Structure 1
């Protein structure tokens, strides 16, 4: 992405944008000059969600623009629609004449910024021409920081594995560390075995580009937060090879790593009073003579043995070693994020970020924050009776229980075994991808859950 996602500076000649709700339409039309009222009625303006009507001026330039607010139910079904409609306006400077505050104002303003995003690394893209003057009543500087962090997440996910292998993911983390003065340490290749990260090494050892563990640290606040992101830069499925249709999107299997890096950027750019740690096991799950096999048993960093019943359930393996490291110096809150299971998509679809947590307070704070920032999440349970499903008998744990039931829950239970000392733990099983164009969310990589977490942190609701 080469463009900058920012609001425009104040402009005395900016065209006024008037947001109109259906129940206020008659009053708005009645207040217009007769010619403009007839024009709006002739063009069928009914204040539907994101409906646009430019009011003619005396010299051919719009005298103002009406934008429909739509009904509350419509806004709930189609978030960011108004902001996207503003970004799609013809080239000019625009200023919101309707006062904005609260969640609606933030959503409209952020929707405009996110609609400016284009992934242009491999092909020139047509950029939006509309310039929105920074709206009053919302924290526009913070929204710009959030949009920039979301753009980082999108860029990382959208980049093909040829250019976004473990080495490139490390480079992205180093660039972020350099930008904000964070410390970073990387353990690579055979050093993973020497320093006791056997599962990360096992998953990545068959790839041409060496596996690694990225460890970024920033801040010295009293509250501590550790983010762990799955960085499987491409997943063939290993010897349990994926079919071609399932492999096509596997460049996004590092979406957890991309999301925690975007969230880390939000936190550092905001200057939150935190001690932040980011752990990313970065690997490729490839096929070669030294690939790990179904039926193999490996010992994790904490001494637990894991039977491999499917090499395509590799994400939980690399996360396990990273979570053990996090558990050795427990933070007040530890969060793992991963594009982990197809079962999560079956359960909640592509638009919701399902999460698991052992802390009721964090669950409530996250749900509240998610509603405020239009970043939907949904809690799934750490259902203890399913623990036996991940115990194969021949080893401590099974990486892929048979039967296919409750796959997202059993994966979360598997991960929880590696953070027994963490006081607050949450795991997000995200999709990280928009399958089709939607307002402010073009087809491709997308952040999920990060803005909700960030809002909970900003409001002091977590950790």
Structure 2
């Protein structure tokens, strides 16, 4: 789908945005025909309630959409987004939209138009209603955010049959080529030769070779390194998941997809920084070569890891990638992963939990989340739990089986491989379990827009 707003000088029809508390006053100011039409139709200005207003020739002259109350708007983002897919094709503009809400409304308009139709070539997309951007909105920025989000969604929605390590590499190289970035790949047994032993150990059971993807872009400014978990499918390994646990495992590369979407945003906007993106891409499969419970691995950093659960493989591949990233000491290091079910238990599917020891980074993210309409929530790097991930027989335990704070102990495990001045880790879900405004059921980006909006403060751009 081509993402575009209406041209600034386009003739457009009005979409009246009406707050529920102001409905009586708004109706009183309308022509009798409009007032009667909406009153007879029991229009209450509920959030997202769309009504078309007829023209004298039988066409559509305008539309009205409810904006609910402050309370109902607080219960969810992108309340106006459903109008984007319910309006007739053509160009539209908002009337009566509060200035403070214009960016969210415009972004929601774009995100609501997403369709994953790769496997339905004959499916009808339906009419596209284009929005004439409200005054003051940054079209380039909004389009970059939506384009990055679309990339993330497409990658995660694609089943593992068509999105294995090789296909993820293809998408990664295409991203680099679009923006003139440099990319390298280390594949198969070359991972051992170049000292990525834990990435190799996790991926060696599959006939789809594991690999490390590495992208560099930008020649000046502060350095930012993004590391994304690219487990293209996770059976759980020899600690095999139940069938119900595998149903969403095509999304276990959601961290990789999210950092690639974020990189798309950064490069499209030409931010003045030096970007590096590292993705360990593997499939966690079962064979006679599979990683075994109680194996002990020696990581790239030299730390030894006892494998007490082969289904806790994401932190293993991330550990080698983080060690590589820290060999250059980036100004800011960010990892993103669909890492633990414990994070979902803690905050549910809509919030993106993150970890950092840097108060300035956390403060910037709080502001960035609001600006990007991308909610995040801070969880603690709780150092007193460090002993939980120390098994005694090796330096670290990848799955201590403690039964508590699973997201926290996973984050602490990753932190052991980080030597960078500032580190930020996201434990995301990358999936919307239900159709929500601007977020159809299926893949969804989390945290990327918050980070993008926070980068100027975090890196002094």
TM over 0.5: yes
1:109 aligned onto 2:106: yes
Query: Among 52, 59, 68, which residue is 1:70 paired with?
Result: 68
1:251 aligned onto 2:242: no
Q: In the TM superposition, what whole-angstrom CA distance separates every residue of 1:208-266 from its partner, at most 9, and x where no partner exists? A: 11101111000022211000000000000000000000011110000000000000000
Query: Would you say the 8 A contact 1:389–1:401 is kept in 2?
Result: yes
1:379 aligned onto 2:375: no
Question: 5 Å matches for 1:39-58?
Answer: 39-58=37-56
Q: CA deviation at 1:304?
A: 0.4
Question: 5 Å matches for 1:216-255?
Answer: 216-255=215-254
Q: What residue number does 1:176 align with?
A: 175
3-state DSSP of counterpart to 2:417:
coil
Q: What residue number does 2:35 align with?
A: 37
3-state DSSP of counterpart to 1:81:
coil
3-state DSSP of counterpart to 2:3:
coil
Q: What residue number does 1:27 align with?
A: 25
Q: CA deviation at 1:167?
A: 0.6
Distance 1:326 1:126 in 2: 44
Q: What residue number does 1:4 align with?
A: 2
Question: 5 Å matches for 1:385-404?
Answer: 385-404=384-403
Q: In the TM superposition, what whole-angstrom CA distance separates every residue of 1:324-348 from its partner, at most 9, and x where no partner exists? A: 0111111111000000000000100
Q: What residue number does 2:14 align with?
A: 16
Distance 2:456 2:331 in 1: 15
Query: Would you say the 8 A contact 2:225–2:334 is kept in 1?
Result: yes
Distance 2:64 2:17 in 1: 6
Q: What residue number does 1:423 align with?
A: 421
Q: What residue number does 1:434 align with?
A: 432
TM-score (structure 1 length as normaliser) = 0.96
1:119 aligned onto 2:116: yes
3-state DSSP of counterpart to 1:331:
coil
Q: CA deviation at 1:403?
A: 2.3
> Cα distance 1:46–1:445, how it changes in 2: closer, same or farther (>3 A)?
same
Q: What residue number does 1:60 align with?
A: 58
Q: CA deviation at 1:8?
A: 2.2
Distance 1:245 1:72 in 2: 39
Q: What residue number does 1:86 align with?
A: 84
Q: What residue number does 1:282 align with?
A: 281
Distance 2:294 2:330 in 1: 34
Distance 1:332 1:12 in 2: 44
Mean CA deviation greater in 215-224 or 199-208: 215-224
Query: Would you say the 8 A contact 1:356–1:412 is kept in 2?
Result: yes
3-state DSSP of counterpart to 2:184:
strand
> Cα distance 1:405–1:462, how it changes in 2: closer, same or farther (>3 A)?
farther
Q: What residue number does 2:153 align with?
A: 154
Q: In the TM superposition, what whole-angstrom CA distance separates every residue of 1:280-302 from its partner, at most 9, and x where no partner exists? A: 00000000001010010010001
Mean CA deviation greater in 190-199 or 8-17: 8-17
Q: What residue number does 1:445 align with?
A: 443
TM-score (structure 2 length as normaliser) = 0.97
Mean CA deviation greater in 68-77 or 122-131: 122-131
What stretches of structure 1 of length at least 5 have no aligned partner?
none
Q: In the TM superposition, what whole-angstrom CA distance separates every residue of 1:20-51 from its partner, at most 9, and x where no partner exists? A: 11222222111111121111111112221111
Q: What residue number does 2:272 align with?
A: 273
Q: What residue number does 1:407 align with?
A: 406
Q: What residue number does 2:187 align with?
A: 188
What is the root-mean-square deviation in Å for CA atoms of aligned residues?
1.4
> Cα distance 1:340–1:462, how it changes in 2: closer, same or farther (>3 A)?
farther
Distance 1:459 1:131 in 2: 32
What stretches of structure 2 of length at least 5 have no aligned partner?
none
Q: CA deviation at 1:460?
A: 5.8
Q: CA deviation at 1:70?
A: 1.1
Q: CA deviation at 1:450?
A: 0.2
3-state DSSP of counterpart to 2:282:
strand
> Cα distance 1:49–1:208, how it changes in 2: closer, same or farther (>3 A)?
same
Query: Would you say the 8 A contact 2:84–2:113 is kept in 1?
Result: no
Question: 5 Å matches for 1:217-366?
Answer: 217-366=216-365
Q: CA deviation at 1:363?
A: 0.5
3-state DSSP of counterpart to 1:63:
strand
Mean CA deviation greater in 209-218 or 43-52: 43-52
3-state DSSP of counterpart to 2:275:
strand
Distance 2:459 2:42 in 1: 45
Distance 2:391 2:329 in 1: 28
Number of residue-to-residue matches in the alignment: 459
Q: What residue number does 2:455 align with?
A: 457
Q: CA deviation at 1:393?
A: 0.2
Query: Would you say the 8 A contact 1:87–1:131 is kept in 2?
Result: no
Mean CA deviation greater in 128-137 or 246-255: 128-137
Distance 2:405 2:278 in 1: 27
Mean CA deviation greater in 245-254 or 3-12: 3-12
Distance 2:237 2:387 in 1: 26
